[in-house]
Structure 1
Amino acid sequence: MHNQCPPMYKDGKVVSYPEKSRLSVYQLPLLVIVAVLVYLSALRNGFVFDDTFTITNNYLICSWSKFTSLFTKEYFAASGELSYRPVVTLSYFIDYSIWQNNPLGYHITNVLFHTINTVILFLLIKSILVQKILIQKHEFIYKTARVSGNFTFTSSRQIASIAFLSSIIFCIHPLLAEAVNAISFREDIIMATFYFAAFFFYLISNHNKSILWHIFSLLCYGLSLFSKEMAVTFPLVIILFDATMHRNVKIVYRKIYYYAGYAAVTIFYILVRFVFLHNPTESYIPYPQDSLWINFIQMSKVIASYIALIFLPINLNADYVVPLSSSVSDASFLLSVFLVISVIIIIFRLFSHSKILFFSALWFLITLLPVLNIIPIENIMAERYLYVPAVGFYIIASHLLYQLLRIKTKNNTAILYCCTSIVTFILMWYSWQTIQRSKIWYDNISLWSATAARSPQSSRAHNNLGIEYKKSGYIDSALREYETAIKIRPNYSEAYSNLANLYIEIGSNTLDRNDSLNLYRTSEDYLKKAIETYKKAIEISPFNNVAHFNLGITYGKLGLFNDAEIEYKNSIRLNPNNQHAHNHLENIYEDRELSDMALEEYQIALSIDSNNAITFNNIGNIYLKKELYGNAIQAYEQAVKNNPEGIVFHENLGNAYLKMNLTDKAIAEYEIMIHLQPDNPNYYTNLIALYWNHKKNSEKAIFYLRKLSALQPDQRDSINKMIDKLGGKK
């Protein structure tokens, strides 16, 4: 038959082609169960790390009306992303529409994607091992006496076992816990989903000669690219796969039309990413010490560290600090080079023994290329970078473990049990380590405390720990952490900005502080110190729109409104969606009685967040001053609709109703105020006056007077006289 697989050979003898394994029926559900159980503790975690920027303070994802911003340059200012990753941001849109700011839902999504990846990877590795997809027209893959040295696959059980073991290691390996636990690092997980799927569909399209599966593969590759740039290695991976598995290089040349599709997708992505939708605030990042040689030394140590962490995942960290080395005599560099060269030698030795293992080893190196600082990146080392590359080593480890068990334990039950117990122990230890890592990601305090303890030279850890101390009111600790961060990294713009924020808090006496922190005599001194510090942050990072905004606020506190206006405009220029900057600029215009300019800013603010009650309230205030009471009422009504618990909105609406002689509606708003805060005596006065002077309803007036008397016992005599007076008029 046309679709019949060619004969397989081993040691010169024909062997049967492996049939579909029944193990998959049990293995797939088991993979799902293990993935859920291992990351169950992650579901109780909150928002951590960069989640503040990408989710909790991200106005873009709050309304589907902003969806079109995914395809414009507004994306960068609104999404909190430096790179163009619209697929990931779309997932935040969906999560927010379901969960709003409940972190549980976002963590469920992360765990769900990781579970899906585990399943797809299992199917992908099975497809690679079976090798049916390598059959081309007029080519028999297994036409020679030996195919893969001692590693020929003749058993469906062997294929399923290796695929399962590789996938289970991927599922539970603690090195991947960072990508699963951090919502803002979801890009690695989603990129992997489409990366694995693209490869899987590519293999199917090769085997079935189906254009439809090829289109699916191209589509998944595109989605993977627009999830994270690391996916750009995919065309190299499939070319490597074909070149490795085929003995006849001409077959690879014949598949150029296949590769052309991936090249077209790559070119399209590059044009979108670097031409049409290039981030204007993306800053230039130099090599370490501006030296290509030092960069080579540093990345040699990083690669060696990655390999060590894959096999022995201990001392994991959210922020790695790679000590700077500039000399080839540095011991850590020499050790790293020795390890890397040893691995490279082993890789090439593998080519003659097993092409699958050779391909798996090169998978690691190729997929890691985008984060090897060839093009300088912010973080030269991170665990999340290994989410896809580590798969190559998982396949190698599983393959070798299976062969070891099969050869060494043959006809020896005792050794089989012993080896199986060791493998089981390793897997259980991996699982336990992953669960422990998830606990560290519970909140920012636990995360950054652990990170600072493990990496004392991590400026990011100290800065972020300072943020959390400030939130908790530990001002002395926050100050110490910010100063430590700046000492470690003198050009750390964010740390300067946070230190300035702290000076403002201290100067405004909004937080308790120890006498030891009274560095400056007056509030004005602290504000001036904050201005100096903000300017330092902006000098280091001119595109820091938050620093510009905070500098504007500080100028405003000192009455320097012209300077404040300039900084608010700078912040808006860098981030047009900075609603807070628009609101503060509106306040300046309003104070200057530039009501039309203020209204224009308010309308811009509403285009950013159409549900902001404060903005509607401020618009109402302007219309009220202009005596446009109908417009004021509309704005106040919208404010009340968006925030029914806002007492000031009800009060302003009630006052506006009175201006229009809508007494009944005004009374209704004042009664809502009393319902919301029944213990506030100030809210009763207007209501009592309305019931008596306007409605001539002494019964209601007396009712609220008695309530007021209970709230103000010192005024009880005068209130009782009023009650008697009203009763006399009945």
Structure 2
Amino acid sequence: MNVRKRGEEAASRFRDGMMCVLLALTTLALFWPVSHHSFINFDDPLFVFNNPFIQRGLNLESIRWAFTTTYANSWQPLAWISHMLDIQLFGLAVGWHHLTNVFFHIGSTIILFMTFRRITGHYIQSGFISILFAIHPLHVESVAWIAERKDVLSVFLGMLVLWSYGRYAVSPSPFRYLIVLLFFSLGLLSKPMLVTVPCVLLLLDYWPLQRMQFAPPGSHGHGFQISRNLWLLWEKVPFLALALGVGITTFWVKNYTGAMHSLEHTPLLKRLGNALISYLIYIEKMFYPRGLAVFYPIPKTIDSWHLIGAGCILTVIFWVVLVKRTRYPYLIVGWLWFFITLLPVSGIIQVGSQAMADRYTYFSLIGLFIMVTWGFSDLVQKLRLGRTIPLILAVVVLSILIVMTWFQLKHWRTDLSLFEHTLKVTTDNYLAYNKLGVYAYKEGRYDEAIAHYSEAIKIAPGYSDAINNLGAVYFDQGNFSEALKLFRTSLEITPQAKTLHNIASVYIKQGQLKQALGHYLQAIELDPGFKLAYHNLGLVYSSLGENERAISYLEQALRINPYDALVHHTLGILFYREQNYESAINHLAAAAGIEPDNAQTQSKLGAALARLGRNEEALIHLTKALEINPSDVVSLSNKGTILLKQGQLIEAAECYHQVLEIDSSVVEAHFNLSLILIEQGRLEQAEKHLITVLRFRPGMTMAQNLLRKVQRQR
């Protein structure tokens, strides 16, 4: 008997293992194309490649920042740390950043299967909800968008909460309880949306764990069941306390950073209406996932009949699952899972300008998968359909979903493909027009950018980002008056540091440095972390001859981001002009270490080293500068001067000849070349170069004296 039981257990473990392998390979094959996708210009810059703390990789300072920052209107320390780790391991190799999301998605899929396999004992149903989770098109956004790392990471940890809770529920112990609490804490540190997980645990207590039961009053065991249920509620108190703490923190962060909309901006009735209708749209898209978009604008008006209809349908669903809770407990569990986990992002507390988002369903949709899967299983048994028909239906459904997901993934390849698709499947999408304008602007297609920005402003006249971006196009075209007008309009709608910075840039172009200073100062007052404004303040003060102030602001920019090559380069130039060559070398070396392929930095570093007589080091950097830019006259001239001092006349002469081939008016090259020619006894050629020197600089005494000496010797 024991042998037979062990054999059955071994067979079961093998079957479970094969299901895990199948889920992993299917998911990896389906999502593999994202490894060839690019970054998306929608949160990816903020979250990864324009974030100085992320760019430093994993270190103590960055970890401290992750736990204390409200950057990007978010508090998600573990998600920040995961991005840092990606940079540490892969740099900006975008494919690996995408694949990290995919691996978390695979992990969540496998843990979902293992959890439901353990707590329900059903192999087929557990496998089916897991494959639905893995391949559903609504989940493309969370997996294919690098900035949504917080989604896939938090849900991966959320799945570990469910898995560890299943183990704890079967065999309770303090250690196992603490493991559940630990995973829940880590999940909250990734994304606060997991605050509803304690409710999910209570739902699992009801079904399938059957730890929570209800009996009619007065029946046998009624009092025991009440005590048991109260204990289960008490058991969740630490989870609820953590959820409450993170919820309050998130509310404060969103409110403090201005991400939360006021009731004047979005009235409560409109929020409720949008939330009710969004619930139904999510259900529709679960069954028929078409028209998926990265951004769904809040509709300008909500039809009262749509609102009433949505309310009635949701009420009917609640009534049906409540009535059928005894016979079909998975219905109420699945429905409440879906409904409750969506509440934080339903829009009742409005954060952002979206009506809904595909990514919000990443964890919530599991509830509907439970309802459909177990409901279909019961229907098959009731109708006695056998195995063939259900298998064919399952294969057809999964095949359709895989094809739809495959096509949906293609839309996420680039900014252009994503936002062009978004415009096709939504209406009045001002954000998509703005993003397409940004794409065209970067490509130098200014007329196209103007058209997109103008359309965005036409749809949303108060959309300050599009107004500001339109001003930037006119600025680049040299139409400063129109640019200034648009920047001021944008500033009146939404005071932003970047707009003040743009206004200052107009004044710089018009030579009004003091007006520019005022706007840069306002920009850093509005955003004390605005590094570029500090840098440009330094440049303006330098132009005004106030180098101490210039250096002070540039050093402040470095305190914000010690790894900014541009700021180090600018500081190096200022110290070089001040003849503080040691400080110049320190900053230029730092800039060269960050951006080794910057020819100007390498050239100036070589010149500074040469000033201190460190000629061998100088030659290394000047040679590097010339490898990057062979026609760099300054580097060629400086290299020739060092070689001349070292007595390498042939090599020095070659440098000067190259200089004169590029620019025949470089006086120093003519003069130094004449010295070499005199040393070589080629007086006639030396005379020609000295005559050229005096043609450009008639009062150069050294050249006059040398010319007379050469003419006497001839």
TM-score, normalised by the number of residues in structure 2: 0.85
- Counterpart CA distance in 2 for 1:645 and 1:242 is 60
Is 1:57 matched with 2:53?
no
- Counterpart CA distance in 1 for 2:538 and 2:498 is 18
- Counterpart CA distance in 1 for 2:574 and 2:660 is 36
- Match of residue 28 from structure 2: 36
Of the three residues 429, 449, 452, the one matched with 1:458 is 429
Is 1:205 matched with 2:168?
yes
Preserved CA contact (<8 Å) 2:274 2:347? no
- Match of residue 252 from structure 1: 229
Query: Per-residue displacement from partner, 1:335-382 (whole Å, max 9, x unpaired)?
Result: 434432332233223313211222111111111111122212222311
Preserved CA contact (<8 Å) 2:73 2:259? no
- Counterpart CA distance in 2 for 1:399 and 1:580 is 57
**One-letter amino acid of the counterpart of residue 402, structure 1:** S
Please state whether the residue corresponding to 1:255 is helix, strand or coil. Answer: helix
Query: Per-residue displacement from partner, 1:195-245 (whole Å, max 9, x unpaired)?
Result: 222222223222212111111111222222222222111222223443564
- Counterpart CA distance in 1 for 2:204 and 2:131 is 23
Where do residues 174-573 of structure 1 align in structure 2 (5 Å cutoff)?
Answer: 174-243=137-206, 245=210, 246-247=212-213, 248-270=225-247, 272-274=249-251, 280-287=256-263, 290-328=266-304, 330=305, 332-378=306-352, 379-409=354-384, 416-507=387-478, 526-542=479-495, 544-573=496-525
Preserved CA contact (<8 Å) 2:275 2:347? yes
Preserved CA contact (<8 Å) 2:49 2:55? no
- Match of residue 217 from structure 2: none
Please state whether the residue corresponding to 2:498 is helix, strand or coil. Answer: helix
Kindly tell me: are residues 28 and 648 of structure 1, through their superposed partners in 2, closer, same or farther at Cα, counting changes over 3 Å? same
- The farther-off stretch of 473-482 and 683-692 is 683-692
Where do residues 706-721 of structure 1 align in structure 2 (5 Å cutoff)?
Answer: 707=658
Please state whether the residue corresponding to 2:73 is helix, strand or coil. Answer: coil
Kindly tell me: are residues 680 and 314 of structure 1, through their superposed partners in 2, closer, same or farther at Cα, counting changes over 3 Å? same
Please state whether the residue corresponding to 1:491 is helix, strand or coil. Answer: coil
Please state whether the residue corresponding to 1:120 is helix, strand or coil. Answer: helix
- Match of residue 699 from structure 1: 650
Kindly tell me: are residues 66 and 266 of structure 1, through their superposed partners in 2, closer, same or farther at Cα, counting changes over 3 Å? same
**One-letter amino acid of the counterpart of residue 424, structure 1:** V
Preserved CA contact (<8 Å) 1:114 1:189? yes
1:177 CA displacement: 0.8
1:266 CA displacement: 2.3
Kindly tell me: are residues 117 and 464 of structure 1, through their superposed partners in 2, closer, same or farther at Cα, counting changes over 3 Å? same
Where do residues 96-111 of structure 1 align in structure 2 (5 Å cutoff)?
Answer: 96-111=87-102
- Counterpart CA distance in 1 for 2:325 and 2:25 is 36
- Counterpart CA distance in 2 for 1:187 and 1:664 is 50
Task: Tell me which of the two structures has the higher relative contact order, counting C-alpha pairs closer than 8 angstroms and 6 or more residues apart.
Answer: 1
- Match of residue 124 from structure 1: 115
Kindly tell me: are residues 587 and 707 of structure 1, through their superposed partners in 2, closer, same or farther at Cα, counting changes over 3 Å? closer
Please state whether the residue corresponding to 1:380 is helix, strand or coil. Answer: strand
**One-letter amino acid of the counterpart of residue 459, structure 1:** Y
**One-letter amino acid of the counterpart of residue 306, structure 1:** Y
- Match of residue 149 from structure 1: none
Preserved CA contact (<8 Å) 1:243 1:249? no
Query: Per-residue displacement from partner, 1:294-353 (whole Å, max 9, x unpaired)?
Result: 33322222111111111111121222235344553x3x4454344323322332233132
- Counterpart CA distance in 1 for 2:662 and 2:511 is 39
- Report % sequence identity: 23
Preserved CA contact (<8 Å) 1:500 1:534? yes
Kindly tell me: are residues 665 and 52 of structure 1, through their superposed partners in 2, closer, same or farther at Cα, counting changes over 3 Å? closer
- Match of residue 606 from structure 1: 558
- Counterpart CA distance in 2 for 1:376 and 1:650 is 50
Preserved CA contact (<8 Å) 1:647 1:676? yes
Kindly tell me: are residues 726 and 221 of structure 1, through their superposed partners in 2, closer, same or farther at Cα, counting changes over 3 Å? same
- Match of residue 623 from structure 1: 575
Is 1:170 matched with 2:146?
no
Kindly tell me: are residues 427 and 707 of structure 1, through their superposed partners in 2, closer, same or farther at Cα, counting changes over 3 Å? same
1:561 CA displacement: 2.5
1:288 CA displacement: 8.3
Give the RMSD, CA atoms, in angstroms.
3.0
- Match of residue 4 from structure 2: none
1:420 CA displacement: 1.9
- Counterpart CA distance in 2 for 1:460 and 1:653 is 44
- Counterpart CA distance in 1 for 2:367 and 2:571 is 59
Preserved CA contact (<8 Å) 2:569 2:591? yes
Query: Per-residue displacement from partner, 1:454-481 (whole Å, max 9, x unpaired)?
Result: 1131111111111111112221121111
Q: How many residues align?
A: 654
Kindly tell me: are residues 657 and 325 of structure 1, through their superposed partners in 2, closer, same or farther at Cα, counting changes over 3 Å? closer
- The farther-off stretch of 39-48 and 285-294 is 285-294
- The farther-off stretch of 187-196 and 655-664 is 655-664
Query: Per-residue displacement from partner, 1:646-693 (whole Å, max 9, x unpaired)?
Result: 22223323332343344554445434433433344554334334444x
TM-score, normalised by the number of residues in structure 1: 0.83
1:178 CA displacement: 0.8
**One-letter amino acid of the counterpart of residue 198, structure 2:** P
Kindly tell me: are residues 113 and 568 of structure 1, through their superposed partners in 2, closer, same or farther at Cα, counting changes over 3 Å? same
Please state whether the residue corresponding to 1:87 is helix, strand or coil. Answer: helix
Is 1:677 matched with 2:629?
yes
Preserved CA contact (<8 Å) 2:610 2:642? no
- Match of residue 533 from structure 2: 581
Ranges in structure 1 where 5+ consecutive residues have no aligned partner:
1-15, 131-158, 508-525
- Counterpart CA distance in 2 for 1:195 and 1:324 is 35
Kindly tell me: are residues 699 and 315 of structure 1, through their superposed partners in 2, closer, same or farther at Cα, counting changes over 3 Å? closer
- Counterpart CA distance in 2 for 1:647 and 1:620 is 14
Preserved CA contact (<8 Å) 1:465 1:478? yes
1:22 CA displacement: 4.9
Preserved CA contact (<8 Å) 1:298 1:324? no
- Match of residue 707 from structure 2: none
- Counterpart CA distance in 2 for 1:527 and 1:714 is 35
Kindly tell me: are residues 655 and 337 of structure 1, through their superposed partners in 2, closer, same or farther at Cα, counting changes over 3 Å? same
- Counterpart CA distance in 1 for 2:283 and 2:532 is 46
Query: Per-residue displacement from partner, 1:251-280 (whole Å, max 9, x unpaired)?
Result: 1112344112112212432454456x6763
